Amino acid sequence: MLRNPRFLAFILAFLALNLLLMNHSVSLWDEDEAAYAGFGQQMLATGDWLIPEFEWSRIHRKTPFHFWTVATSFSIFGVNEFALRLPSTLAVFLTCFLVFYWGRFIFGEPKARVAAIVLASSIVLPVIGKVALTDAHLLLFQTSAVLALFNYLQNPNWKWNLAFWLSIALGILTKGPPILILTGGLWLWLAFWHPKRKVLIGTHPWIFGFMALVPAVYWGYLTYLEDGGVFLAFLYDWYVYRRISGDIYNQTGPPGYHLLVLMVAFLSWLPFVLSSIWETLKAFGKKDERDEENILLVGWLVFSWFFYELMTSKLPSYSLAAQPALAILIAKQVLVFENGNGFKFPKLSWGGALLYTILLGALAIALPIIVYSYFGEEFLLHSLLFTGLVGFTLIKTLSALYQQAGNAMSYMALTGMTLLLGINLSVLPILEQTPLKSLEQVATTAGEYQKAATDIPVYLVGFGPKQQKISLYFYLSQYFEDRQILTPQTAANYYQNKEKGVFLLASSGYAEFKYACERLGIGKEQWQAKGKEVMWRSMDDKLAAHPFWIFCSPE
Strands 483-486 and 548-552: unpaired
Assess whether 280 and 391 both reside in one domain. Answer: no
Judge contact between 548 and 533, C-beta under 8 A: yes
Task: Break the chain down into helix, strand, coil percent, rounded to 5.
Answer: 70, 5, 25
- What span, in angstroms and rounded, lies between the C-alpha atoms of 141 and 92? 11
Strands 483-486 and 458-461: parallel
Query: How many other C-beta atoms lie within 10 A of the C-beta of residue 487?
Result: 14
* Nearest to 531, CA basis, from 498, 554, 507: 554
**505 bridge partner residues:** 461, 549
User: CB-based burial of residue 496 (10 Å sphere; 0-12 exposed, 13-18 middle, 19+ buried)?
Assistant: middle
**313 bridge partner residues:** 252
Assess whether 403 and 448 both reside in one domain. Answer: no
Query: How many other C-beta atoms lie within 10 A of the C-beta of residue 526?
Result: 13
Would you give the end-to-end CA distance of the chain in angstroms?
70
Per-residue pLDDT, 265: 92
* Nearest to 527, CA basis, from 546, 553, 508, 499: 553
- What span, in angstroms and rounded, lies between the C-alpha atoms of 157 and 137? 25
Across all residues in the chain, what is the average pLDDT?
87
125-136: pLDDT as tens digits:
999 999 999 999
Assess whether 167 and 247 both reside in one domain. Answer: yes
| Residue 79 parent element (H or E) | none
Assess whether 400 and 505 both reside in one domain. Answer: no
Assess whether 427 and 444 both reside in one domain. Answer: no
- What span, in angstroms and rounded, lies between the C-alpha atoms of 436 and 409? 37
Angle CA 214–220–226, to nearest 5: 140
**59 bridge partner residues:** none
Amino acid making up residue 111: K
- Confidence band of 299 (pLDDT split at 50, 70, 90): very high
- What span, in angstroms and rounded, lies between the C-alpha atoms of 12 and 213? 34
Assess whether 25 and 130 both reside in one domain. Answer: yes
Q: Is the model's pTM score more than 0.85?
A: yes
Judge contact between 11 and 121, C-beta under 8 A: yes
150-197: pLDDT as tens digits:
999 999 999 999 999 999 999 999 998 899 999 999 999 999 999 999
- Contacts for 64-67: CB closer than 8 Å, 24+ residues apart: 64/173, 64/219, 65/134, 65/137, 65/170, 65/173, 65/174, 66/36, 66/132, 66/133, 66/134, 66/137, 66/174, 66/175, 67/36, 67/39, 67/40, 67/43
Strands 502-506 and 548-552: antiparallel
Assess whether 461 and 508 both reside in one domain. Answer: yes
Percent of the chain with pLDDT over 70: 91
| For residue 228, pLDDT beyond 80 | yes
Per-residue pLDDT, 506: 85
Per-residue pLDDT, 115: 95
Judge contact between 80 and 24, C-beta under 8 A: yes
Assess whether 412 and 464 both reside in one domain. Answer: no
- Confidence band of 224 (pLDDT split at 50, 70, 90): very high
- What span, in angstroms and rounded, lies between the C-alpha atoms of 104 and 113? 8
Assess whether 388 and 420 both reside in one domain. Answer: yes
Give the domain range for residue 429. 347-433
Last residue of a domain, one of 320, 339, 358: 339
Assess whether 410 and 265 both reside in one domain. Answer: no
- Contacts for 278-287: CB closer than 8 Å, 24+ residues apart: 278/346, 278/348, 279/333, 279/346, 280/329, 280/332
339-371: pLDDT as tens digits:
654 445 666 777 777 888 888 888 888 888 887
- What span, in angstroms and rounded, lies between the C-alpha atoms of 329 and 553? 64
> What is the domain-level CATH number for residue 540?
3.40.190
Last residue of a domain, one of 405, 433, 461: 433
24-46: pLDDT as tens digits:
989 999 889 999 999 999 999 99
DSSP 550: E
- What span, in angstroms and rounded, lies between the C-alpha atoms of 87 and 16? 13
Q: Distances from the Cα of 380 to the Cαs of 46, 67, 347, 364, in angstroms?
A: 46, 38, 39, 13
In the chain, the number of structural domains is: 3
Angle CA 69–75–79, to nearest 5: 90
Assess whether 90 and 185 both reside in one domain. Answer: yes
Last residue of a domain, one of 381, 398, 433: 433
- What span, in angstroms and rounded, lies between the C-alpha atoms of 296 and 250? 34
- What span, in angstroms and rounded, lies between the C-alpha atoms of 119 and 132? 19
Q: Is the dihedral of CA 56, 61, 65, 66 positive or negative?
A: negative
Assess whether 420 and 454 both reside in one domain. Answer: no
* Nearest to 327, CA basis, from 18, 92, 13: 92
Query: How many other C-beta atoms lie within 10 A of the C-beta of residue 373?
Result: 8
Q: Is the dihedral of CA 420, 426, 429, 433 positive or negative?
A: negative
